[in-house]
Amino acid sequence: MDLHGKRVLVVGLGKSGVAAVRLLAARGAQVIANDLRSESELGEAAAAVRAAGAQLVLGSHDPALFTSVDQIVLSPGVPPMPALDAADKAGVAVASEVELASWFIESTVIGITGTNGKSTVTTLIGEMCRHTGRPTFVGGNLGTPITDVVGSDAAKLGGYVVVELSSYQLERVDRLRVNVAVLLNVTDDHLDRYPSFQAYAHAKANIFRGQHKADFAVLPEGDELCHRLAEHGAAEQYVFGGDSGSVRVIDGAITDIATGVLLPVSALRIKGKHNVDNACAAALCARLAGVPKQHIVAVLESFTGLPHRMVHVADVDGVAYYNDSKATNVGATVAAIDGLAGSAKRIVLIAGGKDKGGDYQPMRERLHAHAAAVVLIGEAAPIIRAALSGESFPIENAESMEAAVFAARKLAKPGDAVLLAPACASFDMFRSYAHRGDAFVAAVQALEGDK
């Protein structure tokens, strides 16, 4: 797309917004950068925008500004607002940062979305692609903005672009074409932003919207909702897992029906049924993208997982401590509990944080079967306590992560596991889920020092 001389407004100056400003300026657009924060609050981001030659308009989202430009590019965190409604009414084109990047990518695009497991599957696929020696970009919601890939070898024919896509990033896409798109699952999440679960699911479905018949849609076996959502595009559908997936577990081994046995499940270094499913999904996506079997196997047998995702921190007095701070919704917490249910006698769960509007009933069902106790933190503590009302296991509140770990230690017995899987966002008490996980690790390490 020719952007030279066009007035383009970038809304939201986080990492993705700043990356979009740089790309647009490099393509000759007249860029205006807009954010509610002041220049002092933006700090280095404001300096980067000025260095790119863009105009800064800060402190408000003025509808008059939004209707005076040729194109608007949104950062992922920008919510619906009256100024965007005015732009839509005036016929101004609005695109996500992901959509912008897609206009300049010629290589094979592999997109990963879903409520849970995105980062693990994205990283697995990315490593499989890199193992081939072909230029590979891995990013999106995982960390590096996708606009940063434009102009690199990975964005040219022969390269791979492996991108984790959140529902936010998929809200404003029109021509985004994902050659291999996987929807891992859809469960309650971000209902503090979306008016309904259906609206959230519809955003996820946009990953399929621009697919052609020559592309591939990868879905979990037996998930009717995911299969309905994939019908938004024209791609051929493949399934993973279950009893009929193209890649599934057969006789204790992860097996690709097209290429044969990949790896015994016992040799997989990431644990839990959900991670077996993640491995199956990644292997299928990589094969459909043209990655040879030997590279898929090499990564499956060496991958040890990502930080703050079901990481075994320590064993203290016969109790195992696990950090799954990335479990920021109920579905992820359920998966974490299921992953430990076979190895731990009982589970002491540390949960809570900023509530996201989800239904805690599935978590209650797992805790009823597997919990020794629950320790609650953060703003959502009273909401979760109410959802668990009537259960027989102890429920305690803690004012800090250190206090939560101390309480969990008292409640756990040898053979049990203490699991941080909060089912909530972190922003009431912490800067991020990583900050929350680090606090948990530090508290557990303090326990070790007390031995």
Locate 6 and state its tokens: 């066009």
Please tell me the pTM assigned to this model: 0.89
Question: What phi and psi values does residue 139 have, to the nearest 5 degrees?
Answer: -175, -140
Q: Is residue 116 among the annotated active site residues?
A: no
Q: Which residue bears the tokens 């404003």?
A: 172
| Spatial contact of 108 and 289, defined as CB atoms under 8 Å apart | yes
pLDDT per position as a tens digit, 158-170: 999 999 999 999 9
Phi, psi for residue 396 in degrees, rounded to 5: -120, 155
Which region among 108-122, 224-238, 280-294, 336-350 has the lowest average model confidence (pLDDT)? Answer: 336-350
Concerning whether 141 is annotated as a catalytic residue, the answer is yes
Q: Just give the CATH number of 105-302.
A: 3.40.1190.10
* Domain spanning 7-98, CATH class: alpha beta
Cβ-proximal residues to 145 (8 Å cutoff; 6+ apart), any chain: 15, 16, 19, 20, 97, 101, 139
Tens of pLDDT, residue by residue over 245-274, are 999 999 999 999 999 999 999 999 998 889
Domain with CATH 3.40.1190.10 in the chain: 105-302
Q: Write down the catalytic residue from 34, 116, 141, 206.
A: 141
Predicted confidence (pLDDT) at residue 188 exceeds the cutoff of 80: no
| Active-site annotation holder among 34, 116, 118, 308 | 118
**One-letter amino acid of 328:** T
CA–CA separation, 229 and 235 (whole Å): 12
What six digits make up the tokens of 73?
A: 């590019």
DSSP annotation of 212 = -
Q: Does domain 311-450 correspond to CATH entry 3.40.309.10?
A: no
Contact (CB, 8 A) for 363 and 338: no
Edge-first strand listing for the sheet containing 160-164: 136-140, 160-164, 108-113, 180-183, 216-220, 236-240, 247-250, 253-256, 260-264
Q: What confidence tier does 308 reach under pLDDT thresholds 50, 70, 90? A: very high
**Maximum distance among all alpha carbons in the chain?**
68
Strand partners, 419: 322, 349
Report the pLDDT value the prediction gives residue 451, as an integer from 0 to 100: 60
State yes or no: pLDDT of 211 exceeds 80. yes
Q: One of 61, 190, 274, 370 is an active-site residue; which one?
A: 190
Q: Looking at the chain, which residues constitute the CATH 3.90.190.20 domain(s)?
A: 311-450
| pLDDT of the residue at 276 | 95
Identity of the amino acid at 13: L
CB 425 within 8 A of CB 356: yes
| 3-state SS class at 72 | strand
Question: Distance between terminal CA atoms of the chain?
Answer: 63
Q: CATH 3.40.50.720 region(s) of the chain? A: 7-98
Q: Is the pLDDT of residue 443 over 80?
A: yes
Q: Which of 1, 25, 20, 206 is nearest to 113 (CA)?
A: 206
Percentage helix, strand, coil for the chain under 3-state DSSP, each rounded to 5:
40, 20, 40
Is residue 435 classed exposed, middle or buried when 0-12, 13-18 and 19+ CB atoms within 10 A define those classes? middle
270-274, 282-286, 301-305, 392-396: range with lowest mean pLDDT: 270-274
Helices (H), 241-353: 273-288, 293-302, 330-341
**Residue 141: its pLDDT value, please?**
93
pLDDT of 244 over the 90 cut: yes
Q: d(Cα 181, Cα 178) in Å, to the nearest integer?
A: 6
pLDDT of residue 448: 80
CA gap 177, 253 in Å, rounded: 33
Identify the DSSP state of 78. P
Residue 283 pLDDT more than 70?
yes
Is 271 one of the annotated active-site residues of the chain? no
d(CA 124, CA 118): 10
Burial tier of 258 (Cβ tally within 10 Å: 0-12, 13-18, 19+): exposed
